[in-house]
């Protein structure tokens, strides 16, 4: 029997993730790269890297689903599905008993209520950088730290400060004020993590917090935010070993299910013209700007 | 008569792109044009006096620059936009403006408009906010005073026959609008949500007689045209605050959904109940404008003390019409939407959500800031919602 493959690509505001799975849901390859201004256009390169890792070509892939903020502009995807549905599916793969998934990415924060592996409700915050990965990036830059350092530093804190502003710009001022008042760095960073966790926990509580709670997205790599989230939610928070992948993995798994379902029903699989090439922007008129 | 050469949907599109086109022709012919804000000013009285009612709307494609000096950025951006257009001279062709106590910001706007835009004639109808018998009595007096003011402005009296004729004309428009919505019961609907909004917006920008003729053309064209909306998975009910332009609806309909029914005021709200012809015509108008129009600006429970006793019964009294809409138009999901800072609709949202939960109809709440940008994050939410109800 010829092996068949499925792929998911998650174009986030900050990171692009590609996952390739086979018929038995086995993860064959994954790539995580910065999206950047160029890479949003060049998502095909990330895909090519994943393909070479798996040792296959684009034609070997039966079905490709794109998700994430940049999902519309993937010329080689067969279908677009929101990151909400894809995260829910990806997280359920790692943690079958998940009831609440929290994802904090570069641009937004989401809380997803999941039942039997399916998304049933969600909340999103996406109006500004407050309480997202970008917030931590900006503050880390102000402090002259790398983003990876924030978690370990905050875990040393004994008296975390309270950061009242979740606005990225004002929080920077508050950080400076605390530091000039002599507050130890670890207490300031712990305060920032608490501010993020508090904000997302308020959103999550509106969906009812029940175990298992799973935390994904780039910010889930920060051990300090994980601890702060556990404190704010009052329950353990599980983090997958590669928290960035849940969206792309979910997309790949849904691609697999869509293809197998079509096969079982004897229906043709709806594919769009698949071109492994650079995305061209603003050609598709999705009606938002035209007003007609 | 209008020199319009286009008909039906083409005429709607033409007037949608410049909705002042016809009204400016009429102005040149010597007609008096009366702007009205919101759907509470009684347009039948204007029509009876041969004045042309013209709905005052905002423009979400035009940045607000002049209104900031009078209405701060933390209040309803729709009303801010209306004032902004007024201050920029875009409502200069109006001979008068009639406002009503729609909400606090709306009533503030009324006074601000009077002193800053300086439209020659201005009248504010102090519509009560409850439907108690005392309120009903009050609005009858209020409407009689409004009638007198309009008569003085027009320099003539309204006869019973003229008012009755005007009510019949406006009721005819209501019936035609309902006929248009009937076409949306089919699957796929014969008229899209975005088209519906354009049609309603346009008929509120031309005299009622011309609006009725245009509605007839559109209805007949919709029945026979080939280029109709595609079949989609979701049939949605859109509830909420004013949407006077199409970007949000177009975004929803660019996904796997058709908007088949709405409960909004550039939509079904002004049209779904007729004005009853009563011996004293003001009685029928009072009943319609206070009790029958369903907008959260009026608290429509008749007995306040009964409300306190049973929340669910109260929800049923106030929102069961939404369940009727969903059933009749076979809607399988609801988009609750409100323009940012609309307290009137914002406070209603939790209760509407509770009611929808009670009748097991999935819904999602979106808040938008009355601009054409910033729809991408909302698109993810709507698409996520559609994936849930799929």
- Average pLDDT, consecutive stretches of 10 residues, N- to C-terminus, chain B (390 residues): 78 96 96 97 98 97 94 95 97 97 93 96 95 93 98 97 98 98 98 98 98 98 94 97 96 97 97 97 97 92 65 88 97 96 94 96 94 85 94
Q: What is the pLDDT of residue B303?
A: 64
The pLDDT tens digits of the residues spanning A198-223 come to: 989 999 999 999 999 999 999 999 99
A90's enclosing H/E stretch is helix A83-94
Is B380 touching A (CB cutoff 8 A)? Answer: yes
Indicate if the alpha-carbon torsion angle B211, B54, B279, B298 is positive or negative: positive
Distance CA A235, CA B61 (A): 46
Residue A111 banded pLDDT, cuts 50, 70, 90:
very high
User: How distant is the Cα of B247 from the closest Cα of chain A, in angstroms?
Assistant: 6
- Judged against a pLDDT cut of 60, whether residue A66 lies above it is answered with yes
Q: Could you say which DSSP state residue A72 is in?
A: G
Is A179 touching B (CB cutoff 8 A)? Answer: no
Q: Which pair of tokens denotes residue A278?
A: 């650079």
Q: What is the pLDDT of residue B302?
A: 61
Residues of A in contact with B243 (CB under 8 A): none
Distance CA B150, CA B98 (A): 10
Residues of B in contact with A83 (CB under 8 A): 380
Q: What is the pLDDT of residue B150?
A: 98
Find the mean pLDDT for residues A218-245: 94
Is B200 touching A (CB cutoff 8 A)? Answer: no
Exposed, middle or buried: residue A24 (CB in 10 Å: 0-12, 13-18, 19+)?
exposed
pTM of the model: 0.90
Find the mean pLDDT for residues A178-200: 91
Q: Which residue has the higher pLDDT, A37 or A273?
A: A37
Find the mean pLDDT for residues A135-146: 86
SS3 B357: helix
Residue A289 banded pLDDT, cuts 50, 70, 90:
very low
Residue with tokens 């559609």: B386
Q: Tell me which residue in A120, A287, A291 faces B254 most closely, judged by beta carbons.
A: A287
- Judged against a pLDDT cut of 80, whether residue A281 lies above it is answered with no
Residue A171 banded pLDDT, cuts 50, 70, 90:
confident
Q: Which residues of A111-124 are buried (b: 16+ CB within 10 A; e: fewer)?
A: bbbbeeeebebbbb
Q: Tell me which residue in B253, B380, B388 faces A119 most closely, judged by beta carbons.
A: B388
Is A126 touching B (CB cutoff 8 A)? Answer: yes
Find the mean pLDDT for residues A48-60: 91
Is B388 touching A (CB cutoff 8 A)? Answer: yes
Is B6 touching A (CB cutoff 8 A)? Answer: no
Q: What is the pLDDT of residue A269?
A: 80
Yes or no, beta carbons of B380 and A291 under 8 Å apart: no
Q: Which of residues 52-71 of B touch A (CB under 8 A)?
A: 61
Residue A147 banded pLDDT, cuts 50, 70, 90:
confident
Taking CA atoms, A85 is separated from A246, B128, B169, in Å, by 11, 46, 50
Distance CA B215, CA B228 (A): 17
Yes or no, beta carbons of A126 and B247 under 8 Å apart: no
Task: Confirm if B151 and B157 have CB atoms less than 8 A apart.
Answer: yes
State chain A's mean pLDDT as an integer.
Answer: 87
Virtual CA dihedral for B201, B206, B209, B212, nearest 10 degrees?
-20
Q: What is the pLDDT of residue B19?
A: 95
Strand order in the sheet with A27-34: A27-34, A15-22, A5-11, A61-67, A79-80
Find the mean pLDDT for residues A253-269: 90
Q: What is the pLDDT of residue A292?
A: 36
Yes or no, beta carbons of A84 and B247 under 8 Å apart: no
Is A32 touching B (CB cutoff 8 A)? Answer: no
Q: Tell me which residue in A83, A122, A289 faces B372 most closely, judged by beta carbons.
A: A289
Q: What is the pLDDT of residue A273?
A: 61
Cα–chain-centroid distance for residue B1? 26
Residues of A in contact with B371 (CB under 8 A): none
User: How distant is the Cα of B86 from the closest Cα of chain A, in angstroms?
Assistant: 23
């Amino acid at each position: 029997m010829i092996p068949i493959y499925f792929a998911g690509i998650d174009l986030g505001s900050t990171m692009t993730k590609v996952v390739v799975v086979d018929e038995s849901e086995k993860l064959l390859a994954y790539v995580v790269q910065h999206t950047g201004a160029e890479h949003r256009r060049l998502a095909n390169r990330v895909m090519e890297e994943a393909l070479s890792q798996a040792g296959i070509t684009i034609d070997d892939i039966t079905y490709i689903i794109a998700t994430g903020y940049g999902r519309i502009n993937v010329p080689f995807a067969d279908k677009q599905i929101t990151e909400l549905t894809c995260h829910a599916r990806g997280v359920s793969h790692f943690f079958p008993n998940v009831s609440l998934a929290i994802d904090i990415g570069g641009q937004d924060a989401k809380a997803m209520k999941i039942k039997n592996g399916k998304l049933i409700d969600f909340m999103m915050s996406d109006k500004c950088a407050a309480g997202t990965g970008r917030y931590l990036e900006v503050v880390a830059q102000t402090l002259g730290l790398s983003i990876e350092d924030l978690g370990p530093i905050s875990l040393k804190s004994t008296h975390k400060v309270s950061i009242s502003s979740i606005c990225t710009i004002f929080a920077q001022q508050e950080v400076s004020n605390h530091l000039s008042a002599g507050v130890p760095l670890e207490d300031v960073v712990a305060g920032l993590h608490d501010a993020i966790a508090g904000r997302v926990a308020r959103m999550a509580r509106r969906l009812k917090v029940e175990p298992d709670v799973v935390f994904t997205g780039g910010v889930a790599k920060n051990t300090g935010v994980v601890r702060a989230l556990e404190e704010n939610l009052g329950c353990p928070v599980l983090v997958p070993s590669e928290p960035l992948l849940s969206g792309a993995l979910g997309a790949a798994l849904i691609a697999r299910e869509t293809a197998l379902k079509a096969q079982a029903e004897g229906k043709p699989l709806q594919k769009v013209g698949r071109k492994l090439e650079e995305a061209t922007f603003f050609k598709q008129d999705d009606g938002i700007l035209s007003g007609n | 008569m209008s020199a319009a050469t286009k008909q039906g949907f083409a005429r709607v599109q033409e007037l949608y792109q410049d909705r002042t086109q016809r009204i400016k022709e009429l102005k040149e012919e010597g007609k008096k044009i009366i702007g009205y804000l919101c759907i509470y000013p009684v347009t039948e009285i204007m029509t009876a006096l041969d004045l042309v009612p013209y709905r005052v709307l905002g423009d979400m494609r035009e940045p607000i620059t002049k209104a900031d000096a009078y209405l701060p950025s933390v209040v309803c951006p729709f009303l801010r936009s209306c004032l902004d257009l007024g201050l920029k001279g875009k409502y200069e062709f109006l001979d008068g403006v009639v406002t009503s106590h729609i909400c606090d910001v709306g009533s503030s706007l009324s006074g601000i408009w009077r002193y800053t835009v300086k439209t020659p004639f201005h009248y504010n109808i102090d519509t009560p906010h409850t439907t108690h018998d005392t309120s009903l009595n009050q609005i009858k007096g209020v409407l009689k005073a409004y009638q007198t003011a309009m008569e003085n402005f027009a320099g003539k009296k309204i006869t019973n026959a003229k008012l009755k004729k005007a009510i019949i004309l406006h009721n005819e428009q209501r019936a035609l609008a309902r006929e248009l919505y009937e076409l949306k019961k089919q699957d796929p609907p014969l008229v899209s949500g975005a088209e519906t909004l354009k049609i309603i917006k346009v008929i509120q920008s031309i005299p009622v007689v011309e609006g009725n003729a245009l509605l007839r053309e559109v209805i007949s064209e919709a029945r026979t045209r080939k280029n109709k909306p595609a079949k989609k998975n979701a049939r949605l009910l859109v509830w909420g605050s004013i949407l006077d332009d199409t970007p949000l609806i177009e975004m929803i309909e660019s996904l796997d959904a058709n908007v088949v029914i709405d409960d909004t005021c550039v939509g079904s709200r002004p049209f779904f109940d007729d004005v009853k012809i009563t011996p004293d015509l003001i009685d029928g108008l009072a009943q319609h404008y206070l009790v029958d129009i369903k907008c959260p600006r009026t608290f429509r429970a008749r007995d306040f003390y009964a409300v306190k006793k049973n929340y669910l019964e109260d929800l049923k009294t106030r929102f069961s019409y939404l369940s009727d809409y969903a059933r009749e138009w076979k809607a399988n999901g609801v988009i609750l939407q409100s323009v940012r800072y609309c307290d009137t609709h914002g406070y209603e949202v939790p209760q509407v959500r509770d009611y929808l939960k009670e009748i097991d109809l999935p819904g999602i709440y979106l808040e938008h800031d009355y601009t054409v940008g910033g729809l991408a994050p909302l698109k993810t939410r709507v698409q996520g919602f559609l994936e849930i109800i799929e």
